[in-house]
Structure 1
C-alpha cells in the first residue's frame, strides 16, 4: 500500500460428498450422503509499521454415519457443527534504543454442537430421539513483553499475560424435551454447566554471556489460575560453544497445566457414562536434556541428544468402576534419545 502498510484477505471453502464405509459390526455399508462435510473460512490481516490487526471466522458441519457415542448407525441426522471467531491486535516497537516492547490483545469465541440420534431399543430403530450436546466458550486477554539490553552481557526479559475465560458452558438435552438427557431417554438431570475463570502469568528471563564460549540462560514463570493454586516454573540453560561449528546445550525446564472445563465439569449419564472431577490438580512436568550440535560444512547440521522427563499428577481418563472420569495419576518417567541430520540444497 502507498502508506507502507500491507493487507491479506483469504476465503476458502470445502464441500465433500463423503464416502461409503463398511464395518464388520454392521451388515450394511453406509450411504455416501451420511459422511458428507461442508466448511468455510475467512481470514484477514493488516500490517502498518509495528502494528498488526487480524481477524478470522470459520465454520464446519460434518455428518457422522459411524454410530459414535451409541447413536443410530448411518442416520443422516448425526452431525457435528462448530464455528470459531477471533480478533487480534499486535504491536512490536522500540521504546528506546535498548528497550523493545511486544504486546498483544485478543478475543476468541468457539461454539460446538453435536446432534445425535439415539434409540431406546436397538431392535426398534424407529423409536428414536435426537439429543443435542453443546459447548460454548468466550475468552479474551492481553500479553506484553519488555526486552532490555542496557546492561553489558545481559539480555533481560519481563512478560505479563492475562486471560479471562468469560464463558465456559457445556450442556446436553433431548430436543423438544429438556427434562431428558443423552442417556437413552433417562430423566436424570441434564448437564448444564456454566463456568468462568481466569489465568495470570508473570515471566522473567536473563540471557547472560559468560565469555566467548559460554552462555547461561535463566528463567522463571509464575502462574495463577482460577480455582487452582499458584505455581512457579523455573528453567536453566547452559550453552558451551568450543568452536563456531559446535555447540553443547545442557537444559532444564518445567511447566504445568490446569485441567480444562471438559475434564473437570463434563457429565454424560449414558453408557459409557462420564463423570466430572472438581478435585483435579494441575499436572506438572520437569525436563532434562543434553544436546550436541555439529555443523559439517555450511549446509549440513547434525544434532544428537538425550532427555529425561517426569510428569506428576498427570491427568488421564480412567474407569472408576461407575463411569469414565479424568483423574490425577502417579508420577510418570520417560527417557529417550534422538538424532537429527539437516541439509540445505542449493
Structure 2
C-alpha cells in the first residue's frame, strides 16, 4: 500500500516513535530519513529532487530550541533576523527586511499555512505551533511551485506535528527564563486499540522582554535613547489533532501580542501603546483511501482566518491599522505506481479568499477600509521515472490561475544518478513564482508620507539551476555538496514616487544569486550526533552590480550533541556565524553566537529537566533594519537563560 498526504507523515512517525531516545535510533535511520515535502510522497533523501534538510524532535529537545525560527536557523544556507516585532527568514543570501517571509511556503503536515493578506509564513512567537508538538521539520531548498504553487519561491518548509502515539497520556510543562519569561503547556494524547487517535495541547508564553537603547532617539531628557518595559511578548496557542481510519481532522490557533519598542514607521518614541496583535486559525479535514494496492487517493477540505491589529502612536494619538482575512478551499490528489517504472502524482487545488479586508483609522477619520476578495486554482502532475536501476528522472509541472494576476506555469526537472552504493549525484532545474499579495496590490493611504495601491503588479519569478552530490562514508557519516544559481526577475520593491511623494510597490529589480553549500553529518553508535555546514554565496543586483541588503557572503553552522553519564543526560552545543552584509545605510560586520543546552532525560520517572543558555557569551549582535525604521540596524537578544521541566503522567 502507498502512503500519501498525512499518511506519508504518519508512516515516518511510527518508525521514530518506537525509539525512546536519539541514542536508540539506528544509525542508518538517522542519516537516511524518508522525506515527504520534495515530491508530495515519501521518498529517500537521496532520491528527492532537492537538497533537503531535516530536523527531528530529538534535535529540538537536545538543542533547546524555542521557536520554529530557532530550528530553521540551524539548517544549511538559512539565516534569520528579528526586528523586535516579527522574525524573518533568509535563504542562500536573499532576505529583504520586512517581507514577512512571503517567498517561503510554510506547510503544517503538508498543508499550506501562509495567511491571505501578506502571505506571511510565521516562524517566531507568532507561529501556530509550540515546538514541543513538532515531530520533524523538512526544508526543501529551491523553487517548489511545480508541486505547491504560490510562495514556494526560495524553499518549502514542512512542519510535521507529533501524534498521540508519540505523546501518550497527560503531559505538563513549565519553563522559566531571563527577562521574566515563563511558559506553561498542558497536553493529552489518547489512542485506542483500533488506531483512532486524539491529541490536544494548549500553551501560554509570556516575557517582559529586554530594556533597549537606541542612540538614534537620544535626547536631552533621555540621553541614551533608553526604552524600558516595551519589549513584552505573549502568546496562547492550541492544537487539536484527531484521526480514525481514513479520516483526519486538525485545528490550530494562536494569538500573539507584541509590544513594539523600535518606533517603527516614524512613530512617537518610547510610547507603551505601540503594539501589534496577530491571531491565526487553521482547520482542515482529510480523507485518504487505498483504491488498490498501487493507487491511493486523498481529499482535503480546509479553512483559515487571520486577524491583525496594530496600534501606532503619532503626536500622542493612536492610529489603528488592521486586516481581516478568511479563506476556504479543497484539494484532491491521486498517487499511483500502476505503470511500470513510473510513480505518478496528480492533483487539483482551489482556494477562495472570501475576505481580505484592510483598514486604518484614528480618532478623527478613517483613512482606509477596503475588501478585495480573491481566489487561486491549481493543477499539477509529477512523474518519478526509473530510467535504470541507478537512474531516476523526476519531472513535474503545475499551472496556477490567480484572480489578480492571471495564469502561470512552472516546471521542474531532476536527474538523479546513484553513481555508486555510497554516492548520489543530482542535476536540478526549476522555476517558481510569488504573486503580489493583497497588501502590495491594494493598501493605500493618501496622506503625507503615505502609500498608494498598484493593482498592476506582476508576479515575481525565479529560475534555478542546482547540482547536488551526496556521499555516505561507512554507515555513520554523510557529506552533501551543492552548487546553485538563482535568477530572480520582476522583484517587487517599495519605492517613493517623485510625482506625489507617496510610497508604491513596483516590479523593478532583477537579482542573481550563486553559491556553494557544504555539509557533513555524523551519527555514531555511542549516541553522538554532529552536523556542520558552510555556505559561500554571491548575490548581485543586475541594475547596480552591488549586493542587496542583508545578503551575507558566508554562513557557518555547527550542531553537536552527545550523551553524558551513560544515557541519563545529553549536552547540545550550537554555534552559528553570519558574515558581513550591507544595510540600507552602511555595513555590518560578521557575527557569531553560541548556545548550550543540558538535558536530564531520566531525572526521575516521568520527569525531564532542560537547562539552556542562548547567546552563551553575550555577544552584541545587530541585524539590518528595514526602510520603516530610523535605525540602520537593530540589536538582537543578549544572553538568555531558561530552565524547563517536563512531566509525563
**TM-score of the pair, normalised by structure 1:** 0.89
**Hey, what's the Cα distance between the residues in 2 that align with 1:260 and 1:170?**
12
Aligned to 1:124: none
SS in 2 for 1:15: strand
**Hey, what's the Cα distance between the residues in 1 that align with 2:463 and 2:264?**
37
- For the pair shown, the structure with the greater C-alpha radius of gyration is 1
Aligned to 2:397: 220
Aligned to 2:179: none
SS in 1 for 2:227: coil
**Hey, what's the Cα distance between the residues in 2 that align with 1:345 and 1:139?**
47
**Hey, what's the Cα distance between the residues in 2 that align with 1:228 and 1:260?**
10
Aligned to 2:213: 22
Give the Å deviation of 1:298.
Answer: 1.1
Equivalent pair of 1:64/1:74 in contact (CA under 8 Å): no
Equivalent pair of 1:165/1:198 in contact (CA under 8 Å): yes
Aligned to 1:147: 335
Consecutive unaligned residues in structure 1, runs of 5 or more: 120-127, 180-189
CA 1:38/1:304 → structure 2, altered by over 3 Å: closer, same or farther? Answer: closer
Could you tell me which of 318, 324, 342 is aligned with 1:130? 318
SS in 2 for 1:267: coil
| 1:307 lines up with 2:494 in the alignment | no
**Hey, what's the Cα distance between the residues in 2 that align with 1:71 and 1:139?**
32
CA 1:69/1:271 → structure 2, altered by over 3 Å: closer, same or farther? Answer: farther
Aligned to 1:178: 365
Aligned to 2:276: 80
**Hey, what's the Cα distance between the residues in 1 that align with 2:429 and 2:262?**
45
Aligned to 2:344: 156
Give the Å deviation of 1:197.
Answer: 0.6
SS in 2 for 1:4: coil
Bigger mean CA offset, 107-116 vs 57-66: 57-66
**Hey, what's the Cα distance between the residues in 2 that align with 1:223 and 1:308?**
25
SS in 1 for 2:445: coil
Give the Å deviation of 1:318.
Answer: 2.4
**1:150-194 deviations in whole A, cap 9, x for unaligned?**
11111111111111111111110113x335xxxxxxxxxx21221
Equivalent pair of 1:221/1:233 in contact (CA under 8 Å): yes
Aligned to 2:355: 167
Could you tell me which of 240, 244, 256 is aligned with 1:44? 240
Could you tell me which of 324, 329, 332 is aligned with 2:508? 329
Give the Å deviation of 1:68.
Answer: 2.2
Aligned to 1:122: none
SS in 2 for 1:263: helix
Give the Å deviation of 1:270.
Answer: 4.9
SS in 1 for 2:381: strand
Aligned to 1:245: 422
| 1:286 lines up with 2:463 in the alignment | yes
Name the structure where strand makes up a greater proportion of residues.
Answer: 1
**Hey, what's the Cα distance between the residues in 2 that align with 1:35 and 1:291?**
43
Give the Å deviation of 1:63.
Answer: 2.0
Consecutive unaligned residues in structure 2, runs of 5 or more: 1-190, 526-649
**1:198-220 deviations in whole A, cap 9, x for unaligned?**
00010011111111221111111
**Hey, what's the Cα distance between the residues in 2 that align with 1:47 and 1:313?**
43
Equivalent pair of 1:12/1:41 in contact (CA under 8 Å): yes
Give the Å deviation of 1:135.
Answer: 0.6
Mapping 1:99-110, distance limit 5 Å:
99-110=295-306
Bigger mean CA offset, 34-43 vs 222-231: 34-43
Could you tell me which of 333, 342, 345 is aligned with 2:521? 342
**Hey, what's the Cα distance between the residues in 1 that align with 2:206 and 2:485?**
45
Equivalent pair of 1:272/1:324 in contact (CA under 8 Å): yes
Aligned to 2:163: none
Aligned to 1:11: 202
CA 1:290/1:325 → structure 2, altered by over 3 Å: closer, same or farther? Answer: same
Equivalent pair of 2:493/2:509 in contact (CA under 8 Å): no
**Hey, what's the Cα distance between the residues in 2 that align with 1:87 and 1:212?**
42
SS in 2 for 1:86: strand
**Hey, what's the Cα distance between the residues in 1 that align with 2:293 and 2:445?**
57
Give the Å deviation of 1:146.
Answer: 0.5
Give the Å deviation of 1:88.
Answer: 1.1
SS in 2 for 1:230: strand
Equivalent pair of 1:284/1:314 in contact (CA under 8 Å): yes
Aligned to 1:267: 444
SS in 2 for 1:95: strand
Bigger mean CA offset, 97-106 vs 268-277: 268-277
Could you tell me which of 251, 259, 283 is aligned with 1:63? 259
**TM-score of the pair, normalised by structure 2:** 0.49
Bigger mean CA offset, 95-104 vs 130-139: 95-104
**Hey, what's the Cα distance between the residues in 2 that align with 1:312 and 1:31?**
43
Give the Å deviation of 1:289.
Answer: 0.9
CA RMSD of aligned residues (A): 1.7
SS in 1 for 2:389: coil
Give the Å deviation of 1:269.
Answer: 4.0
| 1:235 lines up with 2:422 in the alignment | no
